[in-house]
Amino acid sequence: MKDQVIFIVGPTASGKSEIAVAFAERVNGEIISCDSMQVYRGMDIGTAKPSAEFSERVKHHLIDCIPPSEEYSAARFAREATVLIGQLHASQKVPVVVGGSGLYMKALLDGIFPDKGKDPELRQRLKSRAHREGVEVLYRELGEIDAESASQIHPNDLRRIIRALELCYVTGTRPSALRQEGEGICHRYRCVLFGIAYERSELYARIEKRVEQMFDEGFLDEVRRLRYNTAIGQTASQALGYKESYDYLRKKIHLNHLKYLVKRNTRRFAKRQLTWFRRDRRIQWINVTSAMDPASVADQLIHRLSLQK
């Protein structure tokens, strides 16, 4: 049986972190953060990083990895998370991937085929050769260079034959090797995806509460430190709450309006997250309310897993 990788995903403020910690404790797991902003050091309150208590209970990965000046990407996340998953399995640990970054989740699961090796002039020459010599000549040529890629392409599929040859000649690498480089984990492991779902009104109430808590915990002091003492790259500067706060620091808006903007934009972000995740039919949704204890939700996940064995 394949090794398992468990995903716990959902919109912001859905309580994923608490549920994931309770779940990981029950399955001898460690958590891999699937969050595009929690990788940045110094961005703690605004990105809702796991508390010290949670980090002590269960080991977390891909949090506080890089300075805000550095750029991060879904491709980099997929590479680093894939390595971690292999290491955790070797240590008899269950990888629990937790977060709300749908693009990062998809990159890890399904891979990102490298978008390189393009040469329009070469492509046109190959098309001309196919017209003069026949498609079968190009297909045989591909088979001699990369038999694996040729076996996955129909002999009459000129567009894909030309693209494969283009990759070969421009990159000097077989397309099959490039495909493995950009391959996701879903074929290697038994990936089980759980989504945490709230009624829309309750989720929005949780967002309002979280934003107020952020400000009570000193969020604006965190923003000031980042703004005036740290170089911030393009990706980090777009983090929710931080970008809205810059206008407040420049005295362009009042505090109440800042809170309104952060709450509104967080609700919109949560809606976009849900739209993304709802498209993925692999996700098993768990209906949750704020009255439910994270441990009881974790027990539900364990029960679902046991039924699927």
pLDDT tens digits along 117-133: 678 899 999 999 999 99
Per-residue pLDDT band for 115 (boundaries 50, 70, 90) equals low
How confident is the model at residue 224, as a pLDDT?
92
Q: Are residues 155 and 234 in the same domain?
A: no
CATH code of the domain containing 36: 3.40.50.300
Q: Could you give phi then psi for residue 216, rounded to 5 degrees? A: -65, -30
pLDDT digits (tens, 9 = 90+) for 87-109: 999 999 999 999 999 999 999 99
DSSP assignment of the chain = -PPEEEEEE--TTS-HHHHHHHHHHHHTEEEEE--SSTTBTT--TTTTPPPHHHHHHS-EESSS-B-TTS---HHHHHHHHHHHHHHHHHTT-EEEEEES-HHHHHHHHHB--------HHHHHHHHHHHHHH-HHHHHHHHHHH-HHHHHTS-TT-HHHHHHHHHHHHHHSS-HHHHHHHTB-STTTSEEEEEEEE--HHHHHHHHHHHHHHHHHTTHHHHHHHHHHHS---TTGGG-TTHHHHHHHHTTSS-HHHHHHHHHHHHHHHHHHHHHHHHT-TTEEEEE--TTS-HHHHHHHHHHHHHHT-
Q: What is the pLDDT of residue 152?
A: 76
Is residue 262 domain-shared with residue 276, that is, in the same domain? yes
Give residue 246's domain range. 4-112+186-307
Confidence of residue 1 (pLDDT cuts 50, 70, 90): low
Lowest-pLDDT range of 65-79, 87-101, 201-215? 65-79
Residues 156, 214 share a domain? no
Same domain, yes or no: 77 and 25: yes
Task: Note whether 135 and 48 are same-domain residues.
Answer: no
The region of weakest confidence among 12-21, 23-32, 71-80 is 71-80
Mean pLDDT of 293-308: 92
Q: What pLDDT is attached to residue 113? A: 61
Residue 12 sits in the same domain as residue 86: yes
Q: Examine the domain organization and report whether 247 and 142 are in the same domain.
A: no
**Domains of the chain: total:** 2
CA gap 277, 39 in Å, rounded:
21
pLDDT in tens, 270-291: 999 999 999 999 999 999 999 9
The domain boundary, picked from 166, 181, 196, lies at: 181
Please tell me the predicted confidence (pLDDT) of residue 168. 85
Task: Give the mean pLDDT of 236-252.
Answer: 90
Place of tokens 């206008």: 247
Q: At 42, phi and psi to the nearest 5?
A: 85, -10
Residue 116 predicted with pLDDT over 60? yes
Q: In which region does residue 111 sit, left (phi positive, over 0), alpha (psi from -120 to 50) or beta (all else)?
A: left
Cβ atoms < 10 Å from Cβ of 296? 12
Same domain, 139 and 49: no
131, 164, 181 - which closes a domain: 181
Give the pLDDT mean for 142-158. Answer: 87
pLDDT at 82 over 60: yes
Is the pLDDT score of 181 beyond 60?
Answer: no
Q: What is the CATH number of the domain that holds 135?
A: 1.10.20.140
20 in the same domain as 36: yes
Q: Indicate whether 149 and 252 sit together in one domain.
A: no
Give the C-alpha separation, 145 to 32, whole Å: 39
Sign of the Cα pseudo-torsion (210, 215, 217, 219, in order): positive
Q: Which of 181, 210, 232 is the last residue of a domain?
A: 181
Give the pLDDT of residue 2.
77
pLDDT of 171 above 90: no
37 and 56 co-located in one domain: yes
In a shared domain, residues 166 and 191: no
Q: How far apart are CA 251 and CA 189, in angstroms?
A: 51
C-alpha to C-alpha distance for 176 and 153, rounded to whole angstroms: 12
What is the share, in percent, of the chain residues with pLDDT greater than 90? 72
Residue 74 binned pLDDT confidence (cut-offs 50, 70, 90): confident
